[in-house]
Amino acid sequence: MSKLEKWNDKIWNFFASVDLAIALFIVISVAASIGTVIPQQPEPEATIRFFAKFFTIDTAHKLYEIVSLFDLNNVYHSWWFTFLLFMFALNLIVFSLDRLPHLLKSFKTPPQSIPNQVLEKMPIKKELKIKDGSAVLDKVIEILKKQGFRTHSFQTNEGFQLLCKKWSKTRLAVYLTHLSILIILTGALIGTFFGFRGFMNIVEGTSADFVISDQRKSIPLGFQVACDKFEVEYYENSAVPKAYRSYIRIIENGQPVKFNGKETVIIEVNQPFSYKGITFYQASYGFQPTENAEFRFTFIDKNGKETQLKARFEEKFKIPGTSVIASVEDFSPALGIDEQGRLFNMTTEMINPAVLVVFEDGEKKTEQWILKRIPETWDTPYGKLKFNELWGAHFTGLQVRKDPGVPLIYVGSILMCIGLFICLFLRPITYFVTIDKDKVTFYCPSSKGKFVSEKQLDEIINKIKGEKA
Amino acid sequence: MSSFQIISIAGLLYILAMPLYIVYVLTKNKNLGYVSTVTLSAGALIHIFGFIQRFKEMYEINHSFMRSIPITNLYESLVFFALCIVIGYLFIEWKYKNKSFGVFVSALAGITIGLTDVLGITKEVQPLVPALKSNWLLAHVTLSFIAYAAFAISFITGVLHIIVTADSKKSFKYIFSTAILALMFFVFLSLIIDMATASNPKTVKIFHSTLANPSIVISIISWLFLFALIFVFWKWGNVLSKLLQALKIDENLLEDITYKAIAFGFPIFTIGGLVFGAIWADQAWGRYWGWDPKETWSLITWFVYAFYLHAKFLRGWTGAKLSFIAVVGFIVTIFTYLGVNLFLSGLHSYGSM
């Protein structure tokens, strides 16, 4: 063998080894855990602040140098972590190429009988005394077949030898599992190169046609996304949010796009929406009052007639059927009443939005707080004024993603589940049985799952005894 | 009666089963063994009843079968975890006709439920936050916890296996396993003190009252106590070892159960924890994998058990060496389950107190 071939072999064996796999399990685990402890933020301040909790500020600065040298504040996207994952993939490929042909070959080679000395060395051995060896053979084969074994019988000097196998093809499942990991890694690679992830904030009543990517770049979508409305729904009598909801329209080439005959689509948490391979997810929202924000009311007069009213901040509007002029003079997103009966603002979340409405009836001027979620406050001397919403003051935060690798991820995941279940629940079982004149002996070549193997052999032996009796 | 009262009764039965199992183990009286199994099973049945009751209570709020599985906060997850361990153990007891580690399982399940009482974790049925409103909730969370319970069983048998096979007090195996037990006991004590002394139950910081106490004196005393505890466990751990040896617990049986529990838990964890989790994350957050601390630690857990399986099947590892990995695996599992929520911040913060 030439030197080159020798080296070739060495390298091949290195990448085909289980030791490398085990080493990679440990190294990748340690690397990944570092990333959960050190803040994964590009700004040096975050890292220094983190270390300053444990060390002096000087040491923290020095540690930051090390962190930035090895990209420890961006572990999962660093060159060395990518390299580790690449090694992992290479290990899987070479390992499979190294072993799979042998396995496939072993399925094809006809089984052969094994000398008794080898059998005697096997870790599990069970004996059953019988009277007439030749008569038992068929019964043993029949019982084993009933248990799902495939049997091969050989004539030997001492009598008969049986090779029984069950689920031997399940050895292939390991390779299916390994293949599935490669498929998942490929899917991830495709996603990194051909996809993007980003964010868009759209204020109610406006639209946008680009996404800010996670790398702070602007990516044009090729169509407009308009947000007609955003709402937060709360559980009754509680400040626990029940649902976040955006009402979205897609406008392409100036024309609204229809989905199932409707223009408006609703995006909620856990209910994303996809268009042209780009998926939009409800991710966040915020309060951002704009000039266009308007207060929307339903006025119910004394005869029960309903009128929709809307007005901007401090804009005067007429109460229908009366000479009263009203205007919104104050707003609170979450008005609460404290123990002394005073009003106060709880949070900036719109848990219970309220407006202070001033009514001018000629000379008479009255003012009243109207709370969205408390119907008693809707009653005014002129009729019921129900406060519906402050529209145009929210923006919806949408997570936007395009990832052509996702189908591969799904395929890989399914294959992995199938592979793992087969490999761990349907383990191949092999027994050797020798039948002499006066005894049947069972051998099991593997001590794995010894307890179960022994139990199963006892069961088979009992059956043979039973058949005899 | 509310679900949590029913579940507390189940917890009492588990704690009652523990001394019964001890006395059985010491006397080997068959009737007593029968009584202890019946007590544990009765606890499990009441527990299941309580679980169904809570399911109904959740259903009244959420009006969706798929979203009413009561595993949505720390209390419910601990309760479900305990239930899985007990059912898993009863299955093993029936399958292997061996009651030798029932005492550890009943203790673990009883303490877990007792803990929820002592710590004052909120037991109210809470409405779901929007992030948890998904049909994946049922599959992802249930399967994850079944896998955690399987890993817990492998941990118990793994530790027993190491103790049984340890030959001297100076052997690494013995020091390691007793130190782990002492450490876990200390963390448990510390957690109770942390909870009891925290001014606000929402901002409990683990070890804040002990090792990381602002007062240096208390901190030093805590460290000394920890080392003393390790010493005590090391010194008297062989009592347990001798007891187990006297019982003639077959080490092969322990090794076999350790493997079986992992072989069962690993694919369940892969499909329920990682794959379903990834699909859900893909639908809710717009990415199937984002290196969130919970995700990362799940992957680490997965790697540790992958290590176990590869070491066993391809390197032919056996004995205590292999059980070490099972023990380490469960420590990582606990960290994935509780530690990530306590120490690291991330998207999976539903499990907070």
Contact (CB<8Å) A399/B286: yes
Q: How far apart are CA B286 and CA A282, in angstroms?
A: 9
Closest residue to A18, CB basis, from B266, B310, B318? B310
Contact B252 A450 (CB under 8 A): yes
Four-CA torsion B303, B308, B313, B319, nearest 10 degrees:
170
B132 closest CA partner among A396, A201, A241: A241
Number of Cα atoms under 13 Å in the Cβ half of residue A138: 2
State which residue of chain A sits closest to B297, comparing Cα positions: A33
Please give the residue of chain A at the shortest CA–CA distance from B312: A448
Contact A420 B126 (CB under 8 A): no
User: Rg for chain A (alpha carbons), in Å?
Assistant: 37
Cβ contacts of B17 within 8 Å, gap of 6 or more: B36, B39, B40, B43, B102, B106, B110
Which residues of A fall within a CB distance of 8 Å from B314? 18
Q: Say if the Cβ atoms of A270 and B130 lie within 8 Å.
A: yes
Percentage of chain A lying above the pLDDT 90 cut: 16
Axis crossing angle, helix B320-334 with helix B172-197, rounded to the nearest 10: 10
Three-state secondary structure of B158-173: HHHHHHHHCCCCCCHH
Which residue in chain B has the smallest CA separation from A95? B314
Please name the member of A40, A272, A451 whose beta carbon is closest to the beta carbon of B256. A451
Tell me the shortest Cα–Cα distance from B232 to chain A, in angstroms: 31
Residues of A in Cβ contact (< 8 Å) with B259: 448-449
How far apart are the CA of A270 and the nearest CA of chain B, in angstroms? 4
Could you read off the pLDDT of A417-435 as tens digits, one per residue? 999 999 888 888 888 888 8
Report residue A371: phi and psi, to 5°: -105, 135
Contact B168, B157 (CB under 8 A): no
Which of A231-240, A327-336, B241-250, B312-321 bottoms out in mean pLDDT, i.e. has the lowest? Answer: B241-250
User: Smallest Cβ distance to B291: which of A35, A37, A269?
Assistant: A35
Split at pLDDT 50, 70, 90, the class of A28 is very high
Write the Ramachandran bin of B286: left for phi over 0, alpha for psi from -120 to 50, otherwise beta. left
Q: How far is CA A223 from CA A220, A229, A250, A260, A276, in A?
A: 8, 19, 7, 19, 10
Q: List helix spans (H) across A121-238.
A: 133-146, 173-194
| pLDDT for the residue B206 | 64
User: Quick one: tokens of B243?
Assistant: 């007891």
ipTM of the complex: 0.82
**Contact flag B263-A424 (C-beta cutoff 8 Å):** yes
Q: Could you tell me which chain A residue has the CA closest to the CA of B272? A: A417
Residue of B nearest to A280 (CA): B286
The crossing angle, in degrees rounded to 10, of helices B251-268 and A406-425 is 160
Min distance A379 CA to chain B CA atoms (Å):
31
Nearest-neighbour CA in chain A from B116: distance (Å): 24
The verdict on a CB contact (< 8 Å) between B315 and A413 is no
Chain A CB contacts of B287 under 8 Å are 197, 401, 403
Of B256, B260, B307, the CB nearest to A22: B307
- Nearest CB among B278, B286, B300 relative to A29 is that of B300
Residue A295: the pLDDT is: 87
Q: What is the pLDDT of residue B353?
A: 34
From chain B, pick out residues whose CB is under 8 angstroms from the CB of A238. 127
| Per-residue pLDDT tens digits of chain B, which is 353 residues long | 788 889 889 999 998 998 898 888 878 888 888 999 999 999 999 999 999 999 988 888 877 787 888 888 778 888 999 999 999 999 999 988 888 788 888 988 988 888 777 666 677 777 777 777 788 888 898 999 999 999 999 998 998 888 888 767 777 777 887 888 888 888 777 777 776 676 655 555 666 667 777 777 888 888 888 888 888 888 877 777 777 666 667 788 888 899 999 999 999 999 999 999 998 888 877 788 888 888 999 999 999 999 999 998 888 888 888 999 999 999 999 888 877 766 665 555 444 43
Q: Which residues of B touch A29 (CB under 8 A)?
A: 299-300, 303-304
Interface test with B, best of A18, A25, A34 (most B CBs within 10 A): A25
What dihedral do alpha carbons A364, A365, A371, A376 form, nearest 10°? -20
Residue B133 is predicted with a pLDDT of: 76
Residues 6+ apart with CB under 8 A from B128: B61, B62, B67, B72, B137
| Residue B206 DSSP SS3 | coil
Six-digit token string for B151: 């890993």
The whole-number average pLDDT for the span A93-98 is 92
Mean per-residue pLDDT over chain A, rounded: 84
pLDDT score at B348: 52
Hunting for tokens 């399925």 — which residue is that? A107
C-alpha–C-alpha distance, residues B146 and A163, integer Å: 38
Non-local (6+) Cβ contacts of A114 within 8 A are A161, A163, A432
Compute the average pLDDT of residues A89-95: 93
Tokens 């077949």 label which residue?
A145
Instruction: Choose, out of B92, B254, B270, B340, the residue to mutate when testing the contact with A (most A CBs < 10 Å).
Output: B270
Which of B252, B270, B344 comes nearest A36 by C-beta? B344
| Percent of chain A residues topping a pLDDT of 70 | 94
Residue A469's pLDDT is what?
46
Residues of A whose CB is below 8 A from B310: 18, 21-22, 25
Query: What was the pLDDT predicted at B300?
Result: 95
Q: Which of A371, A380, A326 is nearest to A345 (CA)?
A: A371
User: Distance between terminal CA atoms of chain B?
Assistant: 24
Q: For A401, which of B126, B127, B286 is closest by C-beta distance? A: B286
Tokens of B332: 């990582």
Output the pLDDT for position A179. Answer: 95
Compute how many other C-beta atoms are within 10 angstroms of the C-beta atom of residue B25: 21
> Could you report the per-residue pLDDT of A135-173, keeping only the tens digit for each?
777 888 888 888 888 888 888 777 788 888 888 888 899
Q: A270: which chain B residues are within 8 Å (Cβ-Cβ)?
A: 130-131, 133-134, 283-284
- Facing B129 at nearest CB: one of A19, A33, A240: A240
Determine whether the interchain pair B256/A449 forms a contact, defined as Cβ–Cβ distance below 8 Å: yes
Chain B's closest residue to A419, CA to CA, is B267
Looking at residue A58, what is its pLDDT?
Answer: 87
Q: How far apart are CA B271 and CA B282, in angstroms?
A: 15
CA distance, residue B260 to nearest chain A CA (Å): 8
Chain A residues in contact with B300 by the CB 8 A cut-off are: 29, 32-33
Q: Is A243 close to B130, i.e. CB distance below 8 A? A: yes
Distance from CA of A166 to the nearest CA of B (A): 18
**Chain-chain contact of A424 with B267 (C-beta, under 8 angstroms):** yes
With a CB cutoff of 8 Å and minimum separation 6, the contacts of A183 are: A408, A411, A412, A415
Q: What pLDDT was estimated at residue A337? A: 65
Percent helix, strand, coil in chain A, to 5, is 40, 35, 25
CB contact under 8 A, B263 and A425: yes
Q: Are A349 and A334 in contact (CB under 8 A)?
A: yes
Q: How far is B236 from chain A (nearest CA, A)?
A: 31
Nearest to B284 among A40, A238, A269 (CB): A269
Specify whether the CB–CB gap between A196 and A401 falls below 8 A. yes
